[in-house]
Amino acid sequence: DQQVKQNSPSLSVQEGRISILNCDYTNSMFDYFLWYKKYPAEGPTFLISISSIKDKNEDGRFTVFLNKSAKHLSLHIVPSQPGDSAVYFCAASRGREAGKSTFGDGTTLTVKP
Amino acid sequence: GAVVSQHPSWVICKSGTSVKIECRSLDFQATTMFWYRQFPKQSLMLMATSNEGSKATYEQGVEKDKFLINHASLTLSTLTVTSAHPEDSSFYICSARTGYGYTFGSGTRLTVV
C-alpha cells in the first residue's frame, strides 16, 4: 500500500507559466510534508515544507498548499524557469522527524524555453 | 550549507561480494543518518536509521545481516551490502539531519553482475 502518491509521472510547462505538482496521501497520521527537487546523479534537495497546522506555505516562487480533508497537497512554481526542470518528490512524515519520511514516486517536470 | 559526501557514486561488483558505501558529513556533526534505497521509477524507501554509537534501526522487511550499518563517528556512516546479488542492484542514498533540515548525499548506483 503506497501511502504517498504522485499520480503524474511527468509534467511539461512553458517557461513563465505556472507548474502545479500534485501529491496525495492516505495515512491520516502524517502531519509534516516536504517537497524535494532532484537532478540526475544528485541527491534530493529540500525545497519547501508545510506542517498540518497550516494550509499554505510560500517561499519565493514556490508555494505548497495542503488540503487535509482531501489528504492532498500541491506545489506551485510560478513563474516556471528552465532550471526548474527536475524530478520533484513529495514526502510525508509523522511529527517533525522528516528523516523517516515516506516518499512519492516523483514527478518529472520539464520547463520548455 | 551542510554537505553530505557519499562515495562511491557508482559501483559494479560481482555476485557474492560485499560493497561498502560511505556517507560523511563534511561541515557538521550528524548523530543520525538515514539510508534509503530507490529502485528504478520508484520512490525512495527508507531502509534504516543510523545512530552514532549505537545500533541501527531497520525498517520492516530490511535484512540487518545483509545491510550492515556502522555509525562509528559523528561524521561517518557506512552501509555494507554483504554477499550482494543482482536483486540488490539499486540506487542507495543517505541523508542526515542538520540544523536546517535534512541533507542528502548524491547517492550510489550499485550494479551487481
Which contacts qualify for A68-71: CB closer than 8 Å, 24 or more apart? A70/A24, A71/A24, A71/A25, A71/A26, A71/A28
pLDDT bucket at B75, cuts 50 / 70 / 90? very high
Are the C-beta atoms of B6 and B30 separated by less than 8 Å?
no
In which residue are the cell numbers 497546522 written?
A53
pLDDT at B27: 86
Neighboring chain B residues of A42 at a CB cutoff of 8 Å: 106-107
Grid cell listed for B36: 534509503
Shortest Cα–Cα distance, B46 to chain A (Å): 7
Residue of A87, A64, A78 whose CA lies nearest to A17: A78
- For residue B49, the chain A residue with the least C-alpha distance is A100
Tens of pLDDT along A46-99?
899 999 999 999 999 999 999 999 999 999 999 999 999 999 999 999 876 777
pLDDT at B52: 87
Residue contact A43–B104, C-beta within 8 A:
yes
Shortest Cα–Cα distance, A112 to chain B (Å): 23
Neighboring chain A residues of B49 at a CB cutoff of 8 Å: 99-100
CA angle at B7 for the pair A42 and B47, rounded to the nearest 5°: 75
User: B84: how many CB neighbours lie within 10 A of its CB?
Assistant: 22
Tell me which residue in A9, A49, A103 faces B44 most closely, judged by beta carbons.
Answer: A103
Neighboring chain B residues of A44 at a CB cutoff of 8 Å: 44, 93, 95, 104
pLDDT at A96: 64
Mean pLDDT of chain B: 91
Strands (E) across chain A are located at: 4-5, 10-14, 19-25, 32-38, 45-51, 56-59, 62-67, 72-77, 86-93, 102-103, 107-112
Residue contact B105–A102, C-beta within 8 A:
no
Mean pLDDT of chain A: 93
What number is the average pLDDT over the span B8-28? 95
Mutation target to probe the A interface, by most A beta carbons within 10 A, among B6, B37, B39, B44 is B44
The pair phi, psi for residue B80, each rounded to 5°, is -110, 120
Tens of pLDDT along B84-110?
999 999 999 999 987 767 889 999 999
Tell me which residue in A2, A45, A89 faces B44 most closely, judged by beta carbons.
Answer: A89
**Sign of the CA dihedral A96, A101, A104, A107?**
positive
